[in-house]
Structure 1
């Protein structure tokens, strides 16, 4: 498998400050398309789904994922599937949504049951749920990282992985290794870089545009190819510069890197 530009998307959470009114939505999606992106992932949809679909179709943008809280899937399952069908999107995505008052590990088993129930209900549909990790799931649990345990326990229910490269590395893991170990189960990966800053003697890890941090992108992209990943999605939680400049910088780096790795990404648009 090799990637084309059509498989490089952007998580619109990165551009959340420019995504509230209809006018902002049209402007933001137009800029995203002008950069070269052909697919987007929604963290929320602030206007009518049919109206959003029409805007996307006019701009030639597909939808690679839609964030949907588990609570909404439990309460509005059929409505969510209608929306996914309208957007022609297969992957429902979300991160941990358990009861934080209990602490992550204390609520983990209940969350696994809830997410597995959703996975079972989705088996008879064209749609699947992909779980997005952060670094707190790398705490130890039953002799391994809690994230590994989570994916073990939810595999039978069909829960997929939406691995985030920054958060895997932030948690002490190797992103390429984690992508490889779940071959065939990782339809989407989130690409964001991790850089080191030192201010007044204090060293911190910070978000960076893809290619501007310390991560090994050749190994990550090769692992994604080998693991049959479908979507490479840029997400940057916080940007030190204009977020449109950030997502363009990341896009340009990814396309160049794919071309350098022999995937001829520049040959298609």
Structure 2
């Protein structure tokens, strides 16, 4: 008999596919189209003022998903689910601050999520000992999260790739976490900013990558591991240097279905940027 988790999962997939449960395909097949969404951080200034309004605006552009960010967790989970649903958006993933992950598992479960994402390790842990602590925490949290029917994922930036002796923080995380439980949300921009090849990383960690973050990178911008203004070479999709056709083809091959636009800063008005990003996504064929 289908469980509540099964129903929520199918409902999210139906929303992503733009159909009702009665017409849902028998499975979310490997050749199913990507469900494109927006990470709420991108509209962090607008969301506290009018969350229902900005969500409706995102849906009207054509996005089918929203990935939540902690600024909206003042809403009780059932209320937040309703706001998202009323806007016509699917909800399968959300970000939770490192320290809050173990305390927010029940909240995330009430939201009906498939993925709890930790977006960043605290800066004081950006050393070898700190990455080892994070790996141990991730293993513990991921087991608990898995027990509720969700998955734990980690979202990269560039700082994880700074040398740590003969290794890097990212390598240590991968070495010391259980791939069966600790998954990845790869941010294509931040991989490139760290001097990594997004396509290579996507392929190398095929058994872990479940979600993608999308923003383009200005051609010939300097790489580095330091976060902050000097690391911001961000532009709309299709206006930068990343090979989106190859990235999406590989992601499609690996069965990845959810990809979120997460352009930290925009020169354009935010909705114009979202429209431009979405228009480009419609031109990319996996």
Give me the CA root mean square deviation: 2.2
Superposition deviation, residue 125 in structure 1: 2.1
In 1, are the aligned partners of 2:139 and 2:177 still within 8 Å (CA)? yes
- Residue in structure 1 matched with residue 53 of structure 2 by the alignment: 27
Per-residue CA distance 1:2-56 (angstroms, 9 max, x = gap): 3425x111101001110113xx101100100000011100112243322221122
Aligned to 2:233, what secondary structure does the other structure show? Answer: strand
Alignment of 1:185-264 (within 5 A): 185-196=208-219, 206-258=233-285, 261=286
- Residue in structure 2 matched with residue 95 of structure 1 by the alignment: 119
Superposition deviation, residue 95 in structure 1: 2.3
Per-residue CA distance 1:152-203 (angstroms, 9 max, x = gap): 21125611011000000000111111111111321101011001488xxxx9
Aligned to 1:20, what secondary structure does the other structure show? Answer: coil
Alignment of 1:1-269 (within 5 A): 1-4=30-33, 7-21=35-49, 24-44=50-70, 45=72, 46-74=74-102, 76=103, 80-98=104-122, 100-101=123-124, 103-141=126-164, 143-156=166-179, 158-196=181-219, 206-258=233-285, 261=286
Superposition deviation, residue 106 in structure 1: 4.0
In 1, are the aligned partners of 2:142 and 2:182 still within 8 Å (CA)? yes
Unaligned runs of 5+ in 2: 1-29, 222-229
TM-score normalized by structure 2?
0.79
In 1, are the aligned partners of 2:193 and 2:231 still within 8 Å (CA)? no
In 1, are the aligned partners of 2:117 and 2:185 still within 8 Å (CA)? yes
Unaligned runs of 5+ in 1: 262-269
Superposition deviation, residue 134 in structure 1: 0.6
- Aligned residue pairs: how many? 247
Provide the C-alpha distance between the structure 2 equivalents of 1:244 and 1:133, rounded to a whole number of angstroms.
25
Superposition deviation, residue 82 in structure 1: 3.3
Provide the C-alpha distance between the structure 1 equivalents of 2:250 and 2:194, rounded to a whole number of angstroms.
19
In 2, are the aligned partners of 1:10 and 1:233 still within 8 Å (CA)? yes
Higher relative CO (Cα under 8 Å, sequence separation at least 6) belongs to: 1
Aligned to 1:161, what secondary structure does the other structure show? Answer: strand
Alignment CA distance shift 1:81-1:210 (3 Å): same
